[in-house]
A and B are shown apart, each in its own frame.
Chain A
């Protein structure tokens, strides 16, 4: 089926839509922010990562869907992306396929477009809104897409709240002598929870708008702020909640969690031109004292000039020197902009979980 990716700025990419004969084949046209990801593998982890909420993902690696699917790779219990674009997506009849998976969930799959050209457009012009539609010709595509984009843009901006767990939940940890951890769910990836469980005695998951009091009543020994989608400036309540714990409990923020933490410290965030999404970014980590390759997915970053002087920028993205993490030893605060939990991507930064729990939390003097 002929299909188009239409950008709000008017560019159009004609390709092949693979959504046919699927359960969700009646209503799959969607709009979202169009972003690119340079990972070679991990399409399933990416599609189920809540941080990609409301985004159309363009994979720069040309062959996708090669190894089929497995529920064990899901990073949440649903597919969050609004569209999946790659040059070629394997539609194998051998086993349950990625095309079927997305098709049955009504997520559009567009193949056969020059994703390199599109990536260069996103790199130079920033990440626009766009829509994937089925159409016979460009004019029809444009009309359909404009409408979808308009509709999508008016929905509420606090995307974190949209993907956050609505009910709190208590999970058992694997370490009987570990801390009780309050996890503020901004749209967490399952592997953050899984890794935290290794160190914690117990984890309680809170909604992103949970108040300081609500969380305090659980009396956690450590606070974990998770990843999540969208603009940190749009997230309500969490900044104040987090501020309440600074200096009172060890805090570990990842990605959105890191940005909320910095906002709570009084810093400002800004939108990166085209974001960092991939599995190959080099990081200088002055906490673990290593240079390694990281898994990345964020569209916003912390402005280093706005951070309080006491806060040390300990992690730097070596591609563009942007802030990749902060550490404030005295207050026991660690914020990491990328994804130490990986999934997808390299495991090089997983030592930060150990550092947080075995060093920061273990040595923390509770009042």
Chain B
């Protein structure tokens, strides 16, 4: 049967802001699905609250709503658009849960909307663990023994029966949120309370441990005819106990026999059938006992998932696209395989290469949190390495992490780092083999399957072989050529080879080329070369004899942004993808390079030539040599391409847009302040120091408070506001490893209370356009990625905006920007200070583009390609013509990092952003908070704990809240002050004043909102428990006085109840 003929309009639900466990893979799947459905001449209405996505680019869907993913907003959209169906399977757990809520609230029935892809019954069957287990019983599948716990008391009872360790899995949460492994009754008691709280249904599955079992995942598809295929089978290197999102995973599976694998496949088929997945993608996780082969089912998801993005990139099979078309009524045999264009989709991909996925973590951002991996996901991004062998793919993946140019540097480690899974374990594995330990010993420590350990051991043994047999001086050329080729085939980077033989990386490159050793490029073709493929999706290998490159005339290369990390995420993928299209519009073929499997940029139909490669200077250069690229663009992928630009230039490639000199002027803080001084721009007083003694010399010149940071950092790593000399001392003690004369630390005057703005500018050869000014809601001191923002500005005077624009133009001209520039400025007492300039597309570009409708990326690309003013129609773009107000909301992962503090500062900690669009500020604010998963409580108690200087400022806020019917409470000092000012207020003890104190009060569930402002390391530490309690219990916690003002505005709007929804 072809598609359902009655379908004219469908609604697709996105997944909202990026959070741990739900990242840009859903942008990838949603974008792919939108494109596929649009091609069927069906209108697509898209709802997503995340402005950084490609899917919310107005060109992707028929109508795009950037609105909160909450039922009342979606209902309004349904009412307005009247779609016939909703596809809820592409927007992760968020979309699935939302669909279920819409169903349960009777909204689907009311508006006669059908759910395609997964019905409420299917969603429940997979998500409700009791229901799911009854299905497993029916098909005879085993599962770990477990009990569904709804109360603390019952939880204790079952724990005694199951014994320790125990696994806790709260129902209906993302990425295992709130779950974990309890090794002792003490640990278990606190964890079960938290887990019960985390589950929206207060249900937790307490499960016997299968720690140490082998873990597998099957990505499957099923159509309405019942045709079933396994798109990809994935094996985890890390045994059970580590969340699969945090595990190193390999496709295809490596250590199962055909019989074990086929039995697993059969079981998956039966389960999918019985759950009733009618159409679309799903995944099922299994665990297999390493020696007995006993198999249990861990879980299934009846939707496109994080691993389906990985599976799509690993195999070339476009899961989301096919899932969307199946939901429309097609069957798999009716859909062609896009890659071969001759065979149908009802097949299973065959791989003649190996892919390895490695997650990227951000523990260093969350002081206090332990670097330990459990069943709760903590990684913020991932990379994939494709190689012809496991070794090559693992080594390429390690390089892709952008952790170290050598990929597998020598490191110091402890044996705990092997026994307790953590973010550094993979390097410890290499090092322990260098130290001569045997596979058996390492298996004992790690429980990792010996096949993987043998592979790692062979790489390490080869290092020794290489050092012995490689002669750089050509004295034994024939052997040396062979051993160098063997090294490259194993995936060694030139940098590591250089280290092994005591040479420079550039010397190895030169010798390698002299000996004619280049990688060749093979295709990901879904069929192991059985059929011809027409799609240039390529990866490098030193095993391949011949490149399968199509010829393109003078292609331009765009370097992507690599793995998502805090500070560099999906926004840059938006820039790259939009950039590809913009260059193509000029008739120039585009090469896309990236290492992140979650992205749209690595979709095979985004660019003309896709290279899935580590973004190292070496790998990027080889691609450019092989394709004879005319030049490269390094402004679109964030800091990653900027960091390798110098090396690419040294290799003789042409940089398009701003020159290296411009990049240096903007990036080097010394040079940058010189320029600003020269052209008379105000900058905060600053000094650059390479040591503590130098810092002491300079402290009086800068003055306190000051902000300290090492140069060349992203997302404000190790950046802190220091209030006094003691803190300066402590700062240098803690960060001494990162500060030296080569890597100086920058001390900046801190503009206390200043208003901050982000400005995005595009400059062409004879033109400049201002994309917009985002006014930050929090005062200076909070990292721009973490502060909320609003466009158009609400507090800045028009004349100040004019001045900001003017200064931006002057600076862009002075730096000779060609393409993008992002500026951060602070305004204090009507004086404008320039804080920093980034010579590239920025985090705020997609937000501005969507808020203003100005196609900023396209304009930047035109600038880079050298378009002159008369070729452009710039007059139509004026950001001040914006009719709505747009507020940027932010999302933080504190919940996943117990022990971490939620206070905001100069180091970026947020994982994602949302956009609230409204006809006025209050509506936009309200939506931004809701979209960022911040509750806006309509009643209850508001608890204040304020630093001295905020008390006066916040008195009117407290008064207003009291008028609105909220009960006030505060710590003793604040409460006394409130009382003096005529505010009735409950007084609560501070933590050090004895119990019951304010944290007990919060943890008891008495408080609906916390406003807690604080300064100075000591005060911050003293109030930590307050903020942590809020995180644990999902209570909104405002840590900034300006944010409190904004929150009140949103609260009022929410209580008033009215809102509207509009499309872009």
Contact = CB atoms under 8 A, between A and B. Distances in A.
B350 interface: yes
A41 B257 contact: yes
A116 B528 contact: yes
A66 B452 CA distance: 10
A54 B696 CA distance: 82
Given A61-B352, A119-B352, A318-B343, A291 B225 contact: yes
B956 to A, nearest CB: 68
A94 B258 CA distance: 20
A367 B200 CA distance: 69
A280 B252 CA distance: 14
A220 interface: no
B214 to A, nearest CB: 11
Nearest to A117: B545
Interface stretch (A101-109, A252-260, A331-339, A343-351): A343-351
A67 B530 contact: no
A278 interface: yes
A36 to B, nearest CB: 8
A351 to B, nearest CB: 12
Interface in B252-287: 252-259, 261-262, 265-266, 269
A282 B256 contact: no
Interface in A123-158: 123
B481 to A, nearest CB: 14
A9 B970 CA distance: 88
B354 interface: yes
A131 B522 CA distance: 26
Interface residues of A, number: 47
Interface centre among A90, A291, A343, A347 (most CB of B within 10 A): A291
Contacts of A24: none
B953 interface: no
A60 interface: yes
Contacts of B254: 63, 66
Given A94-B439, A282-B333, A63 B259 contact: no
Contacts of A36: 530
A345 B543 contact: no
B352 A282 contact: no
A281 B347 contact: yes
B202 interface: no
A62 B353 contact: yes
Contacts of A347: 262, 265-266
A38 B350 contact: yes
Contacts of A88: 389-390
Contacts of A342: 262
A292 interface: yes
A178 interface: no
Contacts of B258: 39, 41-42, 45, 73, 343-345
Given A41-B261, A116-B528, A343-B258, A62 B228 contact: no
B593 interface: no
B350 A40 contact: yes
A8 interface: no
A290 B543 CA distance: 40
A243 interface: no
Given A87-B543, A279-B348, A319-B531, A62 B388 contact: yes
A281 B337 CA distance: 13
Contacts of A114: 388, 543-546
A153 to B, nearest CB: 26
Contacts of A346: 262, 265, 348
A324 to B, nearest CB: 13
A92 interface: yes
Interface string B407-441: 00000000000000000000000000000000100
A280 B349 CA distance: 7
A40 B262 contact: no
Interface in B375-396: 388-390
A177 interface: no
Contacts of B451: 66-67, 90, 92
A290 B332 CA distance: 12
Nearest to B351: A61
B227 A291 contact: yes
Nearest to B450: A94
A115 B352 contact: yes
B331 interface: yes
B229 interface: yes
Interface centre among B331, B332, B543 (most CB of A within 10 A): B543
Interface in B555-602: none
Contact of A116 (B233, B255, B544): B544
A60 B522 CA distance: 13
Contacts of A171: none
B1020 interface: no
Contact of A119 (B253, B332, B528): B528
A60 B350 contact: yes
Contacts of A38: 350, 352, 527-528, 530
Contact of B255 (A66, A123, A343): A66
B545 A87 contact: no
B529 A116 contact: yes
B352 A73 contact: no
A267 interface: no
B252 A40 contact: yes
A88 B489 CA distance: 12
Interface in A1-43: 36, 38-42
Contacts of A284: 333
A293 B347 contact: yes
A90 B458 CA distance: 11
Nearest to B251: A40
Contact of A280 (B253, B348, B439): B348
A290 B269 CA distance: 14
A146 B253 CA distance: 38
Nearest to B393: A62
Contacts of B2: none
B226 interface: yes
A73 B259 contact: yes
Interface in A291-318: 291-293, 318
Nearest to B337: A319
A186 B259 CA distance: 24
A365 B451 CA distance: 56
Nearest to A291: B227
B454 interface: yes
Contact of B528 (A42, A61, A70, A345): A61
Interface string B523-535: 0000111111000
A41 B350 CA distance: 11
Contacts of A123: 529-532
Contacts of B545: 114, 117
Contacts of B352: 38, 60-62, 115-116, 119
B238 to A, nearest CB: 18
Interface in A39-69: 39-42, 45, 60-63, 66-67
A67 B257 contact: yes
Contact of A92 (B454, B529, B530, B543): B454
Contacts of B530: 36, 38, 60, 119, 123, 278
Contacts of A320: 343
B191 to A, nearest CB: 37
Nearest to A120: B529
B348 A70 contact: no
Contacts of B528: 38, 60-61, 116, 119, 278
13 contacts: A40-B350, A62-B354, A73-B259, A117-B545, A119-B528, A282-B229, A291-B331, A293-B348, A318-B343, A343-B259, A344-B262, A345-B262, A348-B228
Given A61-B350, A319-B344, 14 more contacts: A40-B351, A60-B350, A61-B252, A66-B451, A67-B451, A92-B454, A114-B545, A116-B352, A120-B529, A279-B348, A280-B349, A292-B227, A319-B342, A348-B228
Q: Which 9 A-B pairs have the closest CB atoms?
A: A42-B258, A60-B528, A41-B258, A38-B350, A344-B258, A280-B348, A282-B346, A119-B529, A291-B227
